[in-house]
Structure 1
Amino acid sequence: MEFPPCPASLKCIQHFLKLAQEHDNRDVVISYWARLYALQVGLKASTQSAEDTKLLLAIMDWLEQMKKTHADNEALTNDIAAQAHIENYALKLFLYADKQDREENFGKNVVKAYYSSGVLYDILLTFGELSEEALHNRKYAKYKAAYIHNCLKNGETPIPGPFPDDEEVEGTDDNEASGSNGSAAAPPTPPSVDSAAPKEPEETQPTLPPTPSPPAPHITPPTAEEVLNNPNKLPSPPVEEEKPGGFEPYVPNAQPNAAAYQPIIPVAGVHITPDQMITAQKYCKYAGSALNYDDVKTAIENLQKALKLLSTGSE
């Protein structure tokens, strides 16, 4: 479907529409929720001009058509399934960009992955408030996208990985990545994320510069194009890899209360509905995400919730 051009008055939704367009032939779930979020933001920002109305109506028509065409896709019709799908995709992009960043594989691929991850975390606001992990990843991804893009544009070498204590990231807001702690190692203050990030899709995929300390010879990092076409190609971070700044591993202060971890005995005849199965999968996914950052406490809590739901049929 051809959409009318985005008027200047709706510039705030351009990056959501761009992400949707890039995924039209890759992932209809991402396209659907990106345009739905663009519509929600656009309705609030609209000046009710003819150009605004024409674009917003076209988006509405497309969303209605997709919902009918993909009525059997739970990630389009069920909020819990949709949230899990988008969170998983955003986290994979974030971990890919973070890994390449730490290995000093700087280039437009990393900028694109960081920026797309940040936009996906914006889209997750459709389902309510973001978790602390998602808020941190969102801010960090946007900041690093702007910072690396700025360095490449100015012919400078970016500082790999997180900055000390994430002070620069904590000082940014959602729309503008800025900040410096005054130390000599601090990066230059980048412009706003929207202005610093690439404005148009790249027609050709740039080649990543060689890594100073390359991984094992048989491992070739995927390009951003491969990542977006097939998220399963994203590498998982090794256990010993440094976690993104701002997260502290969970260290228990005392022995856990044994009573709190008594096994849950399944109740005979319990019937688990499809919605409850999706909710249990969500808890397991949250537990996996928590373990990526050594947050054992949160992982245990979510696994306990999943076990209770599957064993008793109630949360």
Structure 2
Amino acid sequence: MASDLDITVPDCYKQVRPYILIAKEHDTRDPIVSYYARRYAMETAMQMKQPRSPETKAFLFGLMDVLEKCKKTIQDAGNDEVVSSDVVGSVHVENYAIKIFLFADNEDRASRFNKNTVKSFYKAGLLFDIMQTFGELSDELATNRKYAKWKATYLNNCLKKGETPHPGPLDEEGGVGAPVYSQPPNTPADGVAPPPAGFAPSTQTYPPPQQPMYPPPHQPGPSYPPQAPSASYPPPASNLMPPGAHAPPTTPEQSGGQIGIPGPTDQSTSGVQLSISDFAKAQKFCKFAGSALQYEDVPTAVENLEKALQLLKTGKVD
């Protein structure tokens, strides 16, 4: 797998270092996540419009070269669609981000406060950042992103001070209660939480085998976020993904370093051949319908459900 070990990130681009770091960590664990992490780093660096110098040019051209090598590795493995279609790619990265977020939230609510819990919230926040390479975040993902970054900062500060954190969200007075999403102390104005002390790539499994799904059935108190259907809280991957589509393995190790997307097509009940992209688009329409129902927007919900049905029945949408 391509590597950026020889690429020096100039101080003027230090904002993208966390995404380069998480890309390196996933080079063998999940090359698709690694590719999109680098793509987001490249897009962010280009938008910063720093003065061109030999140092900045070497960084940008070097990162671009590594990005293309990552893409070719994925394509050579027979999975071109996951890097050529943002719809397919976004489903993969979103599922992976949610899986890490739910693991961290489970650990936090079970009062298992340690560095791995902090790192998991921190990584989930970065992965939600990376989702912006596909466009503006949905309200649900934006909420998850803000909460993950706040929780990483809060837990890290408590551990450094030797204080016992409160599990779950806090109310505005600092006690256990409804979630708050105001900017936490010591968080930069751009909303990017600082990395926890000692943060570095690790071999920690996210989530570990047999980890129960969110929320723990015994956990009292208000749930975060609300239990209404949303794009941020899909059911287990076995129910979420249609036949032929890809869902991340339960643990990165189960993938054996391979990019495990099944065959390119499947057949609908009407005999129409559907691609992975078709299934992903149908899933998006269903998510949009679910979001519309949360706002009691019945016409929009019906329209998106009809589009999903039409796509699954005919293989196209008018």
Shared fold, TM over 0.5: yes
Give the C-alpha shift of residue 283 in structure 1: 5.0
Describe how 1:195-210 pairs up with structure 2 within 5 A: 195=194, 197-198=196-197, 200-201=199-200
RMSD: 3.4
Structure 2: distance between partners of 1:98 and 1:52:
38
Q: Indicate the larger mover: 136-145 or 68-77.
A: 68-77
Aligned to 2:282: 280
**Residue number among 19, 28, 35 corresponding to 1:32 in the alignment:** 35
Structure 2: distance between partners of 1:278 and 1:249:
21
Give the C-alpha shift of residue 77 in structure 1: 2.2
User: Quick one: structure 1 residues 276 and 154, their matched pair in 2 at CA, closer, same or farther if it must change by over 3 Å?
Assistant: same
User: Quick one: structure 1 residues 85 and 144, their matched pair in 2 at CA, closer, same or farther if it must change by over 3 Å?
Assistant: same
**Residue number among 173, 178, 182 corresponding to 1:171 in the alignment:** 182
Give the C-alpha shift of residue 297 in structure 1: 7.7
**Which one-letter code corresponds to 1:272 in the other structure?**
L
Aligned to 1:41: 44
Give the C-alpha shift of residue 156 in structure 1: 0.7
Q: Is the 8 A contact 2:102 2:213 kept in 1?
A: yes
Describe how 1:54-73 pairs up with structure 2 within 5 A: 54-71=58-75, 72-73=78-79
SS in 2 for 1:227: coil
SS in 2 for 1:170: coil
User: Quick one: structure 1 residues 116 and 274, their matched pair in 2 at CA, closer, same or farther if it must change by over 3 Å?
Assistant: closer
Give the C-alpha shift of residue 282 in structure 1: 4.5
Q: Is the 8 A contact 1:111 1:145 kept in 2?
A: yes
Q: Deviations over 1:215-266 (max 9, x none)?
A: xxxxxxxxxx1117x7x7653125745674353648xxxxxxxxxxxxxxx9
Give the C-alpha shift of residue 65 in structure 1: 1.7
Structure 2: distance between partners of 1:283 and 1:227:
29
Give the C-alpha shift of residue 83 in structure 1: 0.1
Structure 2: distance between partners of 1:29 and 1:135:
22
Q: Is the 8 A contact 2:9 2:59 kept in 1?
A: yes
Structure 1: distance between partners of 2:201 and 2:69:
29
Q: Deviations over 1:84-140 (max 9, x none)?
A: 001001111111111110010001111111111111111111111111110100000
Give the C-alpha shift of residue 305 in structure 1: 4.9
Structure 2: runs of 5 or more not aligned: 230-267
Structure 1: distance between partners of 2:271 and 2:228:
40
**Structure number with bigger Rg:** 1
Structure 1: distance between partners of 2:102 and 2:271:
41
Q: Is the 8 A contact 1:16 1:37 kept in 2?
A: yes
Q: Which has the larger share of helix?
A: 1
Structure 2: distance between partners of 1:269 and 1:200:
51
Describe how 1:259-278 pairs up with structure 2 within 5 A: 270-278=272-280
Q: Is the 8 A contact 1:112 1:145 kept in 2?
A: yes
SS in 2 for 1:272: strand
Structure 1: distance between partners of 2:17 and 2:63:
13
Higher relative contact order (CA 8 A, sep 6+): 2
Structure 1: runs of 5 or more not aligned: 173-177, 179-188, 206-224, 251-265
Q: Is the 8 A contact 1:280 1:309 kept in 2?
A: yes
Q: Deviations over 1:173-216 (max 9, x none)?
A: xxxxx2xxxxxxxxxx344454353464166x8xxxxxxxxxxx
**Residue number among 108, 111, 116 corresponding to 2:115 in the alignment:** 108
Structure 2: distance between partners of 1:295 and 1:108:
36
**Residue number among 7, 11, 17 corresponding to 1:14 in the alignment:** 17
Give the C-alpha shift of residue 160 in structure 1: 0.5
Structure 2: distance between partners of 1:156 and 1:13:
31
Q: TM-score scaled by structure 1?
A: 0.70
User: Quick one: structure 1 residues 49 and 169, their matched pair in 2 at CA, closer, same or farther if it must change by over 3 Å?
Assistant: farther
Structure 2: distance between partners of 1:268 and 1:200:
51
Structure 2: distance between partners of 1:274 and 1:202:
31
Q: TM-score scaled by structure 2?
A: 0.70
**Which one-letter code corresponds to 1:30 in the other structure?**
V
Q: Are positions 1:237 and 2:239 aligned together?
A: no
SS in 1 for 2:113: coil
